[in-house]
Structure 1
């Protein structure tokens, strides 16, 4: 499976998603590793097996084994952190001053450049809707030298991949096929 396969599977009413997927797959704002890792981490965070398989197949040759593992790890650890810190932020009070007491070792040693891992974590945090995490990761990547345009590209990838996953899930549930638009 590939990004082209995903585009073919999208119903006609999701034409904008097809166009966004195409343009983002060819984006040059991010380094090839940053772009590929953002796609992979976003696909995993979007929780659609077909989207994940297609995107990993598309980008695994761009990423070193360590970078592929790091992109997967970003999705995994943000799956944990985004829920925990969203709770802390929503409830406030004592929880903000308590240690999380959750293991997060991969954040300190992700196996790739810290900036890339933070960018992937930002994309996943955007998908998972953790404002506190989005703010934290955005600050780190901007201070690390990424431009607003680069950050926006990563979030555009996350938004598009998530929308593709949701649309394919909805289309499957409704029996919509690409020609049915």
Structure 2
């Protein structure tokens, strides 16, 4: 049994739906709308964004059997950039200040263009992290970017579902030890 499967099985009974969704989405037949690179890169980005060390390590270990190192690194890059940009753009949006929104961010984001993989895949990885982090503007921007680069709506939905389930699994895994105590 893989570490990822062990974590899935560790989800408590109250999270049965999460456990079942996790298995069906990340199983061999799950998410046929996505290529292996899109599926596993999005899973890595979502896991990094969800900030659960054991889940991230398990997703990355399983992903390494399906994707190359460049894809995994691009997924981590997308998650790292979204950790910064999701906070920045969400704050600017919440401020609802026209002057503030017109200012350039002034943050280094070169990896948005220099990540070494297909742009459509990188947009999906950014989408996965942005969904987990809850940034409306970044979620919209990555959906628009994915569509601009030829990604169909069912593939966009698949990444959103995957990000939601990975986030839920991380949340439950964090809470499970506390619930048992």
Task: Provide the residue aligned with 1:132 in structure 2.
Answer: 137
For 1:123 and 1:59, locate their aligned partners in 2 and report how far apart those are by CA, in whole Å. 15
1:145 aligns with 2:147: no
Paired positions, count? 176
Distance 2:106 2:96 in 1: 17
* Distance in 2 between residues matched to 1:120 and 1:149, nearest whole Å: 15
**Alignment-derived partner of residue 3 in structure 1:** 4
Q: Over residues 38-79 of structure 1, what are the superposed CA-to-partner deviations in whole Å (9 max), with x where a residue is unaligned? A: 111100100111111111111112221111110000100000
Helix, strand or coil: the match of 2:38? helix
Partner of 1:48: 52
**What's the secondary structure of 2:33's corresponding residue?**
coil
- Structure 1 residue runs of 4 or more that deviate by more than 6 Å after TM superposition: none
Aligned equivalents of 2:56, 2:117: Cα separation in 1: 21
Instruction: Say what the alpha-carbon RMSD is for the aligned residues.
Output: 1.1
Distance 1:167 1:40 in 2: 18
Indicate if the aligned counterparts of 1:5 and 1:54 stay in contact, CA closer than 8 A. no
The higher-RCO structure (CA 8 Å, 6+ apart) is: 1
Deviation of 1:27 after TM superposition, in Å, equals 2.1
User: CA offset at residue 174 of structure 1?
Assistant: 2.1
1:63 and 2:64 aligned = no
Q: How does 1:15-54 map to 2 (within 5 A)?
A: 15-25=16-26, 26-54=30-58
Q: Which runs of 5+ in 1 are unaligned?
A: 177-181
Partners of 1:71 and 1:120 within 8 A in 2: yes
> 8 Å contact 2:40–2:66 — kept in the other structure?
yes
Q: Distance in 2 between matches of 1:33 and 1:73?
A: 15
Report if aligned partners of 1:138, 1:151 keep a CA contact under 8 Å in 2: yes
